[in-house]
Chain A
């Protein structure tokens, strides 16, 4: 007997079809994983159940929950279902809480809303719920404000609000996407525990196959607003009947064909680098807090032709280290040398030296000035050359760079908004390639991409090292991606490198406890079922 049963759900927003004949079922005490790439309609399915759709939404089909058809329910009826019958957890914990109210007040509000509890009883119950989601009393009093909590802690508060009234169904929309792997593992365990303890049903929406494999009892795979395959997790993962399912799996485990090019000659040398920031607060009369060491005595060497990975969770200092290597941020101690020459942001970095290193960033949407054509965007690094090519030579250089990354020479005259996320990332790589740098820094360069596009970009990166004399510094929070594209890997934590070594060695026999914890926390497709 299902707890929730969605039958033939159609949704259009302002006439644009979003969902097509979606059918799903969730049983009590079970977790249904809904997987899809961006735009597959997985979140809209959740918002349809909650009936929290944007204006202009046209919904038809049946959403059967506890004997009622929610697709037909009025606003008053939904007011009684939301929070009481169905709780919901959202993707972005940083913005999901009211910044002006204490966490206690926000959890208590759920309780007081329908049950008519007194302020005191509600506070006591809120206390108990917060304890239950792992935010115990002495450290997390009810009077805490959201800005005093970390992302993972805030997500626990959101979960507390969702389960406070013991709903029969919990909907979690990418609840761990914004979190680090170790925090993600804790939140996944928490959701699993709450489902088991309360006998709740749950819908877990994610783009990450590994997460679903670890947490869901059954899965539904969505594509372009329709469910293409559904069933018990182990069965779906074993059979993979639909071609799209197979394509998704292939992309998620895709191993680009790489040939080692590493030479013994050092290209980038980082020695005892320290970068600290002044403490919070401070000013004319107030005392500053203690200085924070974002990068704390980091040393490593990247060899010519090598692909070196740098792994760490948010706030570990990898971004700061990257900016120091790019000469964008001065360091307080140590030495950074590229091809034997010092990089030091205290002084202007010589252009010829800058030309040896280029960078590709994470955000395919923010990496380009929207007002310039591709030809101008791609040639920006020519600024570093003493005699940049002009006229036909310039056009040739642009065409060659674009074709090297799998685009057409004719794309040079377009504007950036005409390209998809994956194509933009190719343009970013073309921009890095155009002055033939020796080192390309890839700063979370594939993290924002859907799994299939990501596999293509990884292939491109592997191919380029065959054609050009290139080295990569590959910075990522995603262990699986790093494993597939690097020769050696550095593991960074709290400003320090805690472990480094050949990639396969580190992944198969991690030495440092933190590396082991990271690997254990990372969702793994092979654990399915």
Chain B
């Protein structure tokens, strides 16, 4: 429970910052102000300025938008495709369909999201959309596997047999009995993939495969900060710590949710 609250507060802080940035930021993130370049934190700029005189706090707030949006949509893609695939594979256990879905999953696992991003970028050029697609595709087999694994053990339970003797079809049983019982697991996995997505997005935009200038993103801020780390360490520390705290917050939330939602653990405690 404590983990959930701490994690929720940490991750919620950055989500709030992302939302606030739509209506208000301390300074315009695209306005260059060379006179105020590389200022240390404080003195009108809470977190200092970068080499173009842009306000770091404002950039981190707008950057949160990109990171969170990319990771969230990628989780949506992974769940939207992976969960139905996993349910179908489990409902048709051992069939050709199950085999095809699982082999397809194995194949996608051979392409880490970075490789998918490289393939897409090589042909279509870099953009935030690439990052979403690359991370989203990588999420699909993760959700498909989690769903199938949990669904398979449910299919052997007697309440499913009871539903079958009540004449219900496999699709209906999947929707009515299986999905609600794997939902908790999916919420927990969703939080984990959300945090992994933020890390992956940061990596992709760091190497230039994600959001493009002038949109600020945490990964690109780090890439620009790299050469200045010895004399302007705040440029690397602020976006880096933002990533760490958001990911840490999401992971803590995932652990907390698992403790609350997983009936196995709850039963041990009761």
A361-B158, A368-B159 are known contacts. Are A326 and B165 too (CB-CB below 8 A)?
yes
Instruction: List A contacts of B161 (CB < 8 A).
Output: 328, 359, 361
Contact A370 B162 (CB under 8 A): no
Q: How far is the CB of A39 from chain B (nearest CB, A)?
A: 14
Interface SS majority for chain A: loop
A380-B166, A384-B167 are known contacts. Are A367 and B180 too (CB-CB below 8 A)?
no
CA of A326 to CA of B162 in the docked complex: distance in angstroms? 10
CA of A349 to CA of B157 in the docked complex: distance in angstroms? 22
Closest to B177 in A: A369
Instruction: List B contacts of A351 (CB < 8 A).
Output: 167
Whether a CB of chain A sits under 8 angstroms from the CB of B168 is: yes
Interface string of A48-70 (1 = CB under 8 A from B): 00000000000000000000000
Whether a CB of chain A sits under 8 angstroms from the CB of B104 is: no
Whether a CB of chain A sits under 8 angstroms from the CB of B112 is: no
A367-B159, A368-B159 are known contacts. Are A328 and B164 too (CB-CB below 8 A)?
yes
Instruction: List A contacts of B167 (CB < 8 A).
Output: 349, 351, 354-355, 383-384
Q: How far is the CB of B166 from chain A (nearest CB, A)?
A: 5
Report the number of A-B residue pairs with Cβ-Cβ less than 8 Å.
52
Whether a CB of chain B sits under 8 angstroms from the CB of A366 is: yes
CA of A359 to CA of B181 in the docked complex: distance in angstroms? 22
Instruction: Give the bracket for the number of chain B residues in contact with chain A.
Output: 10 to 19
Whether a CB of chain A sits under 8 angstroms from the CB of B163 is: yes
CA of A363 to CA of B158 in the docked complex: distance in angstroms? 7
A328-B164, A384-B166 are known contacts. Are A369 and B181 too (CB-CB below 8 A)?
yes
CA of A355 to CA of B164 in the docked complex: distance in angstroms? 12
Partner among A328, A362, A368, A369 whose Cβ is within 8 Å of the Cβ of B165? A328
Whether a CB of chain B sits under 8 angstroms from the CB of A477 is: no
Partner among B158, B162, B181 whose Cβ is within 8 Å of the Cβ of A380? B162
Within 8 A of B (CB), among A342-395: 349, 351, 354-355, 357-359, 361-363, 366-371, 380-381, 383-384
Contact A381 B166 (CB under 8 A): yes
Partner among A326, A362, A381, A383 whose Cβ is within 8 Å of the Cβ of B158? A362
Q: How far is the CB of A344 from chain B (nearest CB, A)?
A: 14
Instruction: List A contacts of B166 (CB < 8 A).
Output: 354, 380-381, 383-384
Q: How far is the CB of B176 from chain A (nearest CB, A)?
A: 8
Interface string of B124-164 (1 = CB under 8 A from A): 00000000000000000000000000000000011101111
Whether a CB of chain A sits under 8 angstroms from the CB of B263 is: yes
A369-B177, A369-B181, A371-B180 are known contacts. Are A359 and B165 too (CB-CB below 8 A)?
yes
Interface string of B162-202 (1 = CB under 8 A from A): 11111110000000010011000000000000000000000
CA of A250 to CA of B180 in the docked complex: distance in angstroms? 44
Partner among B162, B164, B168, B263 whose Cβ is within 8 Å of the Cβ of A431? B162
Binding site for B on A (CB under 8 A): 326-328, 349, 351, 354-355, 357-359, 361-363, 366-371, 380-381, 383-384, 428, 431
A to B CB contacts below 8 Å, 10 in the list: A327-B165, A328-B164, A349-B167, A351-B167, A357-B165, A361-B161, A369-B177, A383-B167, A383-B168, A431-B162
